[in-house]
A and B are shown apart, each in its own frame.
Chain A
Amino acid sequence: MGLVLILGPAMACEGDAPSGGDGGTSRVMPRATLGGLGGSVMIKRAAGDEWVEAVEKMELFENDKIRTAAGARAEVVFANGSHVQLGEEALIGIAETQVRPGQDRTDLTVLQGRVAAELDQASQSLSVTTPSATVRAGRELVFQ
């Protein structure tokens, strides 16, 4: 079990759709999928140092970063079905799955640019963190 816990994220750091190794006993689940690409869209994997060109249906894992150039666009579809469209000149990061004590869950970090999100109020939720705020939408939000 310990091996699974260590190897899973480790392989995710490596970049390409991770698998649990030769034994095939575990596989880190992607947090989202990238699509709707237009223009120059680059991705940097969690453990990578270089930006590489994104391709359609690319799986996204925690701590991956996506950057769109001027005039570019992309769409991130999360595992729960909620999706986020990235406008031009945006820089976002896929948040960690694991919630740390004292911290709230988040799905997406927007460092710069504009994103447009849509989700089903009944079954989906989305949490977006920025340098100055956290935006929450969806199921768990019921205002008094």
Chain B
Amino acid sequence: MKTPPRKWLALALCALTATAALAAEVTVQAGETLPKIAQRTLGDPAAASELKALNQLASDQVPAGTVLQLPGSERSLAVSAISAARNAVKQAGADSPRREEASRQLAEAEALLKEARYAQAADAADGAWKLVSERAGEKTQFTVEVDKQGKTEVRTSAGQPVRVEAQGKVQPVPVGEVVTVAKGEAPRRLVERPPKVPDTLATLEAPQPLSPPEKHQLKLQPRKNGTLGPVNLSWRAVPGATGYEVEVTPQGGKPLQLKVEKPTARITTLPPGSYGWTVRALGEGIRSERSGPRSFQLASDGLKLEVKGTQWK
């Protein structure tokens, strides 16, 4: 014998392992019908017809102890192809010119599957899929990366979305997106941190008040109604500002707001009293912080000089 005994032992062990993995046969248990066997072995009672065809049986009733042949991997390919074709036909518009032909081929594929003619079923399903799928001919590219902790990261760079399954949940990964999965957890779409939105209050510098000086007392001639004015406020122009919002608040009163385009504001009349005021710069959808508070006093100039006319020349 050319082959050493050790080698034969290895072969035998491998053969046993491989036979177990193939699970190409199943023994019928007492009281089992074909649908039950199909459910137990293929996960689908409707696959009874396949077992029937594959084993050339005349009836669904099979005596206990009978050894039945099970389909191989070609069945899962056929089932996948039919599933894809079903979805593609369902999604094809009713006005799709090829839908009718695709439906016919799909029905043919389903019939071939029931007869356990898996290769032909897969071919027919592929034909149906190609007829109505807009995706035919595309290349799909993706990467899978596993770190030392077993965490998986999946990226799709071209073509159609790939699908990540974990813990009974499914997460599609369209082009440009990333999905991560930690061990024992469901897939998680990794949201790329968006670029930090600039702080709207910081993009425009707060204006710096110029006039009137802080706590300045303005003495103005009163009008007939007792009010005083005009009061002119000014501040340093802010680069990028398209306008300004001024708020003038009488002591113990409600603030008065006005908007201006230039770095000055003219308030025609105000009652005498103490006032605080602030100003902020306005831009396209943004605004600055308010300036530091400033105050002024508005008082009536009591020395009203009324010079009467004289006859002296």
Where chain A touches its partner, the secondary structure class is mixed
Contact assessment for B81 and A139 in the assembled complex, using a CB-CB cutoff below 8 Å: yes
Give the residue of B41, B91, B141 whose beta carbon is less than 8 angstroms from that of A117: B141
Is A105 part of the binding interface, using a Cβ–Cβ cutoff of 8 Å?
A: yes
Taking the complex as formed, is B165 at the interface, i.e. its CB lies under 8 A from any CB of chain A?
A: yes
A111 near B146: Cβ-Cβ < 8 Å: yes
> Are the C-beta atoms of A6 and B19 separated by less than 8 Å?
yes
Write the A82-109 contact mask toward B (1 if CB under 8 angstroms, else 0): 0000000000000011111110010000
B165: nearest chain-A partner, CB-CB: A134
| A140 contacts B146, C-beta separation under 8 Å | no
B184 lies within 8 A of A132 (CB): yes
When the two chains form the complex, which single residue of B12, B145, B163 contacts A10, counting CB atoms closer than 8 Å?
B12
B41, closest chain A residue (CB): A101
Stretch at the interface among B131-139, B240-248, B266-274, B303-311: B131-139
Q: Does A47 contact B (CB under 8 A)?
A: yes
Q: A117 vs B157: C-alpha distance in the bound complex, in angstroms?
A: 10
Q: State the Cβ distance, A87 to closest chain B Cβ, in Å.
A: 8
Q: Are B161 and A47 in contact (CB under 8 A)?
A: no
A130 touches B11 (CB 8 A): no
Least Cβ–Cβ distance between A70 and chain B, in angstroms: 14
* Measured CA separation A6–B91 after assembly (Å): 44
Contacts of A66 in B (CB 8 A): none
Within 8 A of B (CB), among A8-43: 8-14
- Set of chain B residues within 8 Å of A120, measured between Cβ atoms: 137-140
- Selected interface stretch from B82-90, B111-119, B230-238, B291-299: B82-90
**Contact of A133 with B139 at beta-carbon distance under 8 Å, contacts A10-B12, A115-B144 already known:** no
Q: Does B51 touch A at the CB level, under 8 Å? A: no
Chain A residue contacts of B185, Cβ below 8 A: 132
Most buried by B among A102, A114, A141: A141
Per the bound structure, the CA–CA distance linking A11 and B91 in Å amounts to 46
Cβ contacts under 8 Å, A97 to chain B: 73
Interface contact B145-A125, CB-CB below 8 Å: no
Is the Cβ of A134 less than 8 Å from the Cβ of B166?
Answer: yes
A121 and B138 form a contact (CB under 8 A): yes
How many residues of A are counted as interface, with CB atoms below 8 angstroms from the partner's CB atoms? Answer: 51
- Is B213 interfacial (CB 8 A cutoff)? no
Question: Does B93 reach chain A (CB closer than 8 Å)?
Answer: no
Q: Nearest B residue to A108 by beta-carbon distance?
A: B144
Residues of B144-174 contacting chain A, CB below 8 A: 144-148, 150-152, 154, 159-166, 172
* Cβ distance A44 to chain B, nearest Cβ, rounded Å: 14
| Chain A CB within 8 A of B206 CB | no
A contact residues around B83 at 8 Å (CB): 140
Give CA–CA (A5, B10) in the complex, Å.
Answer: 16
- A112-B148, A117-B141 given as contacts; is B24 within 8 A of A5 (CB)? yes
Residues on B with beta carbons closer than 8 Å to the beta carbon of A99: 73, 75-76
With A133-B166, A135-B162 already in contact, the answer to whether A121 and B135 are too (CB < 8 A) is yes
Q: A133 and B165: CB pair below 8 A?
A: yes
Return A19 CB to nearest CB of chain B, in Å.
13
Does A110 interact with chain B (Cβ within 8 Å)? yes
Instruction: Give the chain B neighbours of A8 by CB distance below 8 A.
Output: 18
B136→A100 contact, CB < 8 A: no
CA distance A101 to B19 in the complex (A): 15
Q: Is A128 an interface residue (CB 8 A)?
A: yes
1/0 contact trace for B166-191 toward A, CB 8 Å? 10000010000000011111010000
- Since A117-B142, A121-B136 are in contact, a sample of 4 more A-B pairs with Cβ atoms closer than 8 Å, ordered by chain A residue number, is A14-B10, A98-B72, A114-B144, A135-B165
Instruction: Spell out B's residues near A (CB within 8 Å).
Output: 7, 10-15, 17-19, 21-24, 40-43, 72-73, 75-77, 80-81, 83-84, 87-88, 91, 126, 129-130, 133, 135-148, 150-152, 154, 159-166, 172, 181-185, 187
> Can you show 8 pairs from A to B with CB atoms below 8 A apart?
A6-B15, A10-B12, A47-B10, A119-B140, A121-B139, A121-B159, A131-B152, A142-B87
Q: Which residues of A contact B (CB under 8 A)?
A: 5-14, 46-47, 96-102, 105, 110-123, 125, 128, 130-144
